[in-house]
Amino acid sequence: MTGQTAHVVDEVEKTLRDEAFNTTRIVNTPKTHCCDVIATSQDHSISLITKIVENIDTTEKEMMIEMLLLGYFLKATPILIGIYNRRNELEDNTVYFRLDGHIIAINLYTLIQIIKHNIHPLRIAKRGGYLYKIDGEELKQLREEQSFSRKTLSEKMRISTKTIAEYERKKSVYSQLHHVELLEDILSTEIKKPIHIFDLPKKTKQIIQNRPSAQSQHIEIAEEISEILSELGIFQFWTSNSPFDVFFLIPGYENNLQIISGVFSNIQEEDLNRLYNIAQMVKIRNKMGPVRAIVEEPQDVKECKKVGIIPIESKKLKTAKEAKEIVKILSIR
């Protein structure tokens, strides 16, 4: 992390805390994570996962995918806070999309405007220009109030009546600036609408099962646990850049998302620091179940409990013969 991005991380955390968000800052050790600050508003209506990067176009795809999936699992909006794209600075009050539109990117100024002043961006940056949001239902109402037919309006704008009909059919429509300005000129009304980034539809790439990566700590233990989960038909997603090690889903059980913060043998101080951060993070996301750690040694059980992490002894998992036994083990508080 450069000095410039480190400063932005500080400002992001300060901005959110000043507005009474509960925040958790993720320390990038022992591995680089896909997020820097996770935050939730006091009423839990807004939750976000932020990653601060220097250039949004050089951010690794794998990092963004894990950021996206972390947002999915934690029910939060993933946001890149960037400084540049290609060779230019990110523009104020502008939304950028990356990872095929799955990830939102903005600059620090735009975040501050949203969080502190409730001023939301008005445009989306696209190759070839900007897109502005309009309300199709409002457009139809204005057109009818001013006695314009679709044909008349389309002729004035030099577009098809079909395009006008498509605009009016949707609550939210994104159109090029010159079309929006033409509409505003014809209807003598400003129709641009702010883009509320937390209300944008959540997109999620397909989550594909995987196995522990070579980057996993205590890889031999992780691989053994993974094999057990696989044999029992339990969905598993192991991360490389997340503060967590694995998420898994148990088929046939409601609220079956399980979050495993780590697989440990002989927990060290840096492990405890990470576990503490994770415990705080899930405390903030109080709709989630408790976070667990898979441990090998009796001493590790005690260390986990000190920081509010529920320890799962690996020897119990290794003796499980059915998925319901895993559920029983995970029900331990």
Give the pLDDT of the chain (333 residues) as one tens digit per residue: 677 888 999 999 999 999 999 888 886 655 678 999 999 898 888 999 999 999 999 999 989 988 998 888 788 899 999 999 987 999 999 999 999 889 999 999 999 999 999 999 999 998 878 999 999 999 999 999 999 999 999 999 989 999 999 999 988 889 999 999 999 999 999 999 999 999 888 777 777 888 887 666 678 888 988 998 888 888 888 888 887 888 888 777 655 677 787 888 888 887 887 777 777 766 665 555 667 888 988 888 888 888 878 888 888 888 888 888 888 887 766
Q: For 18-27, which contacts have Cβ atoms below 8 Å and span 24 or more sequence positions?
A: 18/116, 19/115, 19/116, 21/46, 21/115, 22/284, 23/284, 24/277, 24/280, 24/281, 24/284, 25/277, 26/243, 26/277, 26/281, 27/273, 27/274, 27/277
Longest CA–CA span in the chain (Å) reads 78
Place of tokens 């969080």: 115
CATH number of the domain enclosing 265: 3.40.1350
Answer yes or no: is 143 within a domain. Answer: yes
Look at residue 141 in the predicted model and tell me its pLDDT.
94
From the CA atom positions of the chain, what is the Rg in Å? 24
Same-domain check for residues 135 and 114: no
Asked if 259 contacts 289 with a C-beta cutoff of 8 angstroms, the reply is yes
Parallel, antiparallel or unpaired: strands 77-85 and 47-55: parallel
Specify if 183 maps to a domain.
Answer: yes
**CB of 48 closer than 8 Å to CB of 199:** no
Whether residues 235 and 315 share a domain: the answer is yes
Domain that holds residue 146: 131-193
Q: Which of 75, 51, 54 is nearest to 63 (CA)?
A: 51
Q: What is the CATH number of the domain that holds 179?
A: 1.10.260.40
> What's the pLDDT at 52?
96
The residues, any chain, with a CB within 8 Å of residue 330's CB and separated by 6 or more, are 258, 292, 312
Structure tokens at 19: 């507005």
Is residue 14 one of the residues assigned to a domain? yes
Q: Given the structure tokens 């339990």, which residue do they identify?
A: 234
For 304, the token pair is: 């986990």
71 and 18 belong to one structural domain: yes
Q: How many Å separate Cα 325 from the centre of its chain? A: 32
Q: What burial letters (b/e) apply to 105-144, b meaning 16+ CB within 10 Å?
A: bbbbebbbbbbeeeebbbbbbeeeebbbbbbbeebbebbe
Paired with 94 in beta bridges are 123
- Asked if residue 113 and residue 140 are part of one domain, the reply reads no
pLDDT of residue 79: 96
pLDDT at 153: 93
Let me know: does 204 contact 77? Beta carbons within 8 Å. Answer: no
Q: Which residues pair with 258 in a beta bridge?
A: 248
For residue 316, count CB atoms less than 10 angstroms from its CB and return exposed for 0-12, middle for 13-18, buried for 19 or more: middle
Closest Cα to residue 136, out of 167, 95, 182, 174? 167
Phi (first) and psi of residue 32, to 5 degrees: -75, 130
For residue 178, the tally of other CB atoms under 10 A from its CB is 10
**Distance between CA 236 and CA 260 in Å, rounded?**
10
Q: Are residues 89 and 21 in the same domain?
A: yes
Q: Do 110 and 127 touch, CB atoms closer than 8 A?
A: no
Q: Mark whether 14 and 79 lie in a shared domain.
A: yes
Domain boundary among 94, 121, 148: 121
pLDDT of residue 243: 79
Whether 238 maps to a domain, the answer reads: yes
